[in-house]
Amino acid sequence: MAKLELLPAVDVRGGQAVRLVHGESGTETSYGSPLEAALAWQRSGAEWLHLVDLDAAFGTGDNRKLIAEVAGAMDIKVELSGGIRDDATLAAALATGCTRVNLGTAALETPEWVAKVIAEHGDRIAVGLDVKGTTLRGRGWTRDGGDLYETLARLDGEGCARYVVTDIAKDGTLQGPNLELLRHVCAATDRPVVASGGVSSLDDLRAIAELVPLGVEGAIVGKALYAKEFTLEEALEAVAR
Ligand SMILES: O=C(O)c1ccccc1N[C@@H]1O[C@H](COP(=O)(O)O)[C@@H](O)[C@H]1O
């Protein structure tokens, strides 16, 4: 059986690595230099970095230069997200050399454009399904954007390669992942799913790893690493097969 991939997160706001609670603006805890954080995860053995421009996601500016610097400094795979919503922002994101981008708001607001870029870029495009209950949220998770399963069916039909599923109610809370949501999404699609939100312990990671046969490919880990609930080395060991 394939092992669960781990994607330590570096979310950038105002030039700093931060963590939010429920993705709400104003709840930031700052963890210093994004480049230092990313390099630390790489040194600890990460194979992936989940890198987010939160200002671009919220529409409060962007950290594009810094994000490109961080992505360019990595020898590992990078999943890049936040504010990638049109040809210019997609071109800038792909030009960082990232392995793939993760589209959120665009999948809800400009579905024709997303279908086009999925057709053009295939596996380099993932869609972030950021949900409250079963309602998708966009624009920094401040606006409703439709039903999770209707959108998933549409994106499957358009050939979307992969989904990053975030339970907003869990994100940044250290309350454990929403395993039920992950099971339901995996039942609704045959595409790989990356789990995001709520990881608090090595047992949470082991529980997500149990879902690999259902289609869960990876897990994003944020707050738990920054809060030192466990080390990345311990996390990688916990999901090694
Ligand atoms: O990661 C967060 O904490 C987060 C909080 C609030 C909004 C977005 C967040 N992250 C990621 O941003 C992209 C969505 O950006 P966009 O809608 O495409 O501009 C998505 O990957 C979220 O997971």
Q: b/e for 151-163, b at 16 or more Cβ within 10 A?
A: bbeebeebebbbb
Which among 53, 55, 62, 130 is annotated as catalytic? 130
Four-CA torsion 190, 216, 27, 36, nearest 10 degrees: -120
Q: Active site includes 130?
A: yes
| Length reported for the chain | 241
| ipTM of model | 0.94
What sign does the CA torsion over 241, 40, 171, 81 have? negative
Q: Given this model, what pLDDT does residue 1 score?
A: 75
Tell me if 239 sits within 8 A of 221, measured CB to CB.
no
Q: What are the pLDDT digits (tens) for 132-169?
A: 999 999 999 899 999 999 999 999 999 999 999 999 99
* Side-chain half-sphere CA neighbours of 101 within 13 A: 30
Q: Given this model, what pLDDT does residue 236 score?
A: 98
Q: Given this model, what pLDDT does residue 241 score?
A: 72
Q: Given this model, what pLDDT does residue 110 score?
A: 97
Residues with CB under 6 A from ligand 1: 11, 20, 23, 52, 54, 56-57, 81-85, 102-106, 128, 130, 138, 140-141, 164, 166, 171
With a cut of 50, list the residues of the chain below it in pLDDT.
none
Q: Given this model, what pLDDT does residue 191 score?
A: 98
Q: Can you tell me which residue has the tokens 């194979």?
A: 47
Terminal alpha carbon distance of the chain: 8
Q: Given this model, what pLDDT does residue 147 score?
A: 97
